[in-house]
Amino acid sequence: MAGMRSRRLFARAQKILVGGVNSPVRAFKSVGGSPVFMRSGAGAVLTDEDGKRYLDFCLSWGPLILGHARREVLAAAERALRRGSTFGAATAAEVELAERIRAALPSMELVRLTSSGTEADMSAVRVARAFTGRDLIVKCAGCYHGHVDSLLVAAGSGATTLGVPDSAGVPRAWARTTITLPYNDPKAFEAAFSRWGKRIAAVIIEPVAANMGVVLPKSGFLESLRRVTTKHGSLLIFDEVITGFRLAYGGWQSVCKIKPDLTVLGKIVGGGLPLAAYGGRRDIMRLVAPLGPVYQAGTLSGNPVAVAAGLETLRLLKEENPYPALARRAGELTARIRQEAAAVGVPVTVNSVGSMFTVFFTDHPVTEYTSALQADAGSYGAFFRALLEEGAYFPPAQWEAAFLSSCHKPADLDAAARALGRALRRVPRPSGRRS
Ligand SMILES: *Cc1c(COP(=O)(O)O)cnc(C)c1O
């Protein structure tokens, strides 16, 4: 439960900030309780306004793969800040960052930096529409590509109908430019393409889904998207905002060996500051202004402080290659969670890949959005609140990914596994079962 200072701050915040927060999930609505206000972070540990410490498994929703306040990243950002926080003009460091991005993800032949993932996704979709001269976009139910109008869309009735708005304020006409299909269902994509193929500009997808909780692509699924888009002259956009520099230095595309036409990056690429990127095939990206007719701009795009933090983060990731250790530790932790849950009779499905995972409170496999929605948010809420008391900060919603950073050491994770076991004991068990 949130401490006194957090509760007082939340009361004050609610009078001036919408819902007391600047991004909805921070309000703890889906887990219950009053949100915890954070004061500082160091390594794997967050400290709240009441001085309580948490081992952080949310990590600002993914950017902090090197943990909070990594010394070298701070120093690089501080050096940049001292030289001036923004120029609104070209700088050397943004060239270097773009070169590093392309060296990591060679499919990004030409790159544009932006300030948020939403902006980069919105722009990637715009350039895809311009390149193909088509309007329709295909996305998967449960995938998130920022709060872009035409991407805040739910499936209409039946897999091959056009979409309906998933947010108030999205014009129906916009939603009707989007087709929403089930993740991991190549047949649904084939059906949609046989009906709308000539009108589809692009398929946009999280190559490993993380915004309905972690859901892995089944073998052959992404390959089938590559084939069907190529066949119909549509583009394939990988939204690697979470997976880029997270699951491998080269993103999931370096693991699955599929070359998307466009890629979107965010989160880790900015080293904890507001920075994102999109890029891809030179012949497509050439359409973006000032080379071409697709307008896209930003006062703080390629901001020198964010670029410096991003560059230093990528340099450290390249040098330290934390990925094998991260995956090993996450594998051990998730195995312990499964064991503990089985021991206390709480049904869970733990999906995990590399350093990200989700504990779904369901005994069914979770392979797409409908199965993800079978997870019990009430149980997750009880689990989350128990973990808060134990000093572990998980994402405050069931359908999100938990993350590890390179600062989560085996001893921390051992203690966390025991705390997770105790938290699982406090989740209401399905009736008729006792432990
Ligand atoms: C976080 C996220 C975004 C949006 O990025 P913001 O910087 O929050 O605008 C887009 N796509 C995916 C896959 C994300 O996880």
Q: State whether 103 and 192 are in the same domain.
A: yes
Ligand 1 nearest-atom number relative to CA 121: 10
d(CA 59, CA 112): 25
Is 272 close to ligand 1, i.e. is its CB under 6 Å away? no
Q: State whether 131 and 261 are in the same domain.
A: yes
Instruction: Identify the CATH number of the domain in which residue 397 sits.
Output: 3.90.1150.10
Is 278 close to ligand 1, i.e. is its CB under 6 Å away? no
Q: Is residue 171 part of a domain?
A: yes
Instruction: Identify the CATH number of the domain in which residue 86 sits.
Output: 3.40.640.10
Report the nearest-CA residue for atom 5 of ligand 1.
117
Q: Is residue 181 part of a domain?
A: yes
Q: Band the pLDDT of 435: cuts 50, 70, 90.
A: very low
Is 211 close to ligand 1, i.e. is its CB under 6 Å away? yes
Give the 3-state secondary structure percentages of the chain, helix then strand then coil, rounded to 5: 40, 15, 40
Beta-strand ranges (E) seen in 255-294 are 262-265, 276-280
Q: State whether 90 and 153 are in the same domain.
A: yes
Q: Per residue in 57-110, pLDDT tens?
A: 999 999 999 999 999 999 999 999 999 999 999 999 999 999 999 999 999 999
Q: Per residue in 115-157, pLDDT tens?
A: 999 999 999 999 999 999 999 999 999 999 999 999 999 877 6
Q: Which domain holds residue 230?
A: 71-319
Asked whether the predicted pLDDT for residue 299 surpasses 90, the reply is yes
272 alpha carbon – ligand 1 mean position (Å): 13
Q: Is residue 15 part of a domain?
A: yes
Most informative mutation of 115, 204, 211, 263 for ligand 1 (most atoms within 8 A of CB): 211
Is 121 close to ligand 1, i.e. is its CB under 6 Å away? yes
432 alpha carbon – ligand 1 mean position (Å): 41
Q: Per residue in 243-280, pLDDT tens?
A: 999 999 999 999 999 999 999 999 999 999 999 999 99
Is 206 close to ligand 1, i.e. is its CB under 6 Å away? yes
Q: State whether 191 and 260 are in the same domain.
A: yes
pLDDT of residue 76: 98
Is the link from the previous residue into 35 a cis peptide, with omega within 30 of 0?
no
pLDDT of residue 431: 63
pLDDT of residue 293: 98
117 alpha carbon – ligand 1 mean position (Å): 5
Most informative mutation of 118, 150, 269 for ligand 1 (most atoms within 8 A of CB): 118
Instruction: State what percent of residues in the chain have pLDDT above 90.
Output: 94
Amino acid identity at 122: M
98 alpha carbon – ligand 1 mean position (Å): 19
pLDDT of residue 434: 45
Residue 49 backbone phi and psi in degrees, to 5: -70, -15
Q: State whether 30 and 77 are in the same domain.
A: no
Q: State whether 55 and 81 are in the same domain.
A: no
Among 319, 352, 376, the domain-final residue is 319
Q: State whether 152 and 293 are in the same domain.
A: yes
Most informative mutation of 64, 122, 137, 242 for ligand 1 (most atoms within 8 A of CB): 242
> 283: burial class by Cβ within 10 Å (0-12, 13-18, 19+)?
exposed
CB contact at 8 A, 143 and 213:
no
Among 319, 334, 352, the domain-final residue is 319
Q: Is residue 137 part of a domain?
A: yes
Q: State whether 166 and 313 are in the same domain.
A: yes
Ligand 1 nearest-atom number relative to CA 143: 13
Q: State whether 331 and 224 are in the same domain.
A: no
Is 266 close to ligand 1, i.e. is its CB under 6 Å away? yes
Q: State whether 263 and 297 are in the same domain.
A: yes
Q: State whether 156 and 224 are in the same domain.
A: yes
Is 117 close to ligand 1, i.e. is its CB under 6 Å away? yes
Q: At what angle do helices 377-390 and 410-425 cross, to 10 degrees?
A: 130
Instruction: State which H helix or E strand residue 161 sits in.
Output: none
Asked whether the predicted pLDDT for residue 429 surpasses 90, the reply is no
Compute the half-sphere exposure of residue 52: CA atoms within 13 Å on the CB side of its CA. 18
Among 271, 288, 319, the domain-final residue is 319
Instruction: State what percent of residues in the chain have pLDDT above 70.
Output: 98
Q: Band the pLDDT of 160: cuts 50, 70, 90.
A: low
Q: State whether 52 and 93 are in the same domain.
A: no
What's the N-to-C CA distance of the chain in angstroms? 25
* Active-site amino acid positions: 144, 239, 267
* Count of domains forming the chain: 2
Ligand 1 nearest-atom number relative to CA 118: 9
Beta-strand ranges (E) seen in 206-353 are 235-239, 262-265, 276-280, 349-353
208 alpha carbon – ligand 1 mean position (Å): 13
Q: Per residue in 374-422, pLDDT tens?
A: 999 999 999 999 999 999 999 999 999 999 999 999 999 999 999 999 9
CB contact at 8 A, 113 and 259:
no
**Mean pLDDT score across all residues of the chain:** 96
Look up the pTM and report it: 0.97
